[in-house]
């Protein structure tokens, strides 16, 4: 008989926990950007359940998925969206840029977030 040893789950960081709590109270859909120090990459996604989505990235069923290479992923920034359609448009504006400088500027300059949110609303 083969025994499978379960990996110990680490609790989310206080920042991630707080962001998830606020997200559940205030927002419906959001864009989230994760950062992996292991591979020094960002990952952009959209979700209605941020806490669950971060858990899925850090505990992938399929080890061949892109995010499996970067575990552990840390929440870098979230951007609230008006609805699912707005979130999809916003994700399509952010993802193709593939620039860590652009993503870092989203966190550094809130007016940049406002600008792209407005672009996605049109």
Q: What is the pLDDT of residue 8?
A: 52
Q: Could you give phi then psi for residue 103, rounded to 5 degrees?
A: -65, -45
Tokens 């989230």 appear where?
Answer: 32
Per residue of the chain (122 residues), what is the pLDDT tens digit? 444 444 455 666 666 666 656 545 555 899 999 999 999 999 999 999 999 999 999 999 888 888 899 999 999 999 999 999 999 999 999 999 878 999 999 999 999 999 999 999 87
In the chain, the domains with their CATH numbers are 14-121 (3.40.1440)
The three-state DSSP-derived secondary structure of 15-81 is HHHHHHHHHHHHCCEEEEEEEECCCCEEEEEEECCHHHHHHHHHCCCCCCCHHHHHCCEEEEEEEEE
pTM, rounded to two decimals: 0.76
Q: What is the pLDDT of residues 17-50, one digit of tens each?
A: 666 565 455 558 999 999 999 999 999 999 999 9
Q: What is the pLDDT of residue 15?
A: 66
Q: What is the pLDDT of residue 9?
A: 53
């Amino acid at each position: 008989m083969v025994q499978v040893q379960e990996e110990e789950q680490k609790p989310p960081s206080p920042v991630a926990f707080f962001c998830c709590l606020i997200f559940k109270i205030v927002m419906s859909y959001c864009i989230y950007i994760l950062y992996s120090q292991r591979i020094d990459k960002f990952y952009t996604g959209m979700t209605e359940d941020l806490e669950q989505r971060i858990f899925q990235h850090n505990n992938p069923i399929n080890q061949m998925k892109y995010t499996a290479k970067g575990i552990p992923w840390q929440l870098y920034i979230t951007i609230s969206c008006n609805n699912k359609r707005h979130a999809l448009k916003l994700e399509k504006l952010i993802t193709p840029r593939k620039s860590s400088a652009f993503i870092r500027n989203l966190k550094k300059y809130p007016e940049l977030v406002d600008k792209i949110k407005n672009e996605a609303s049109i």
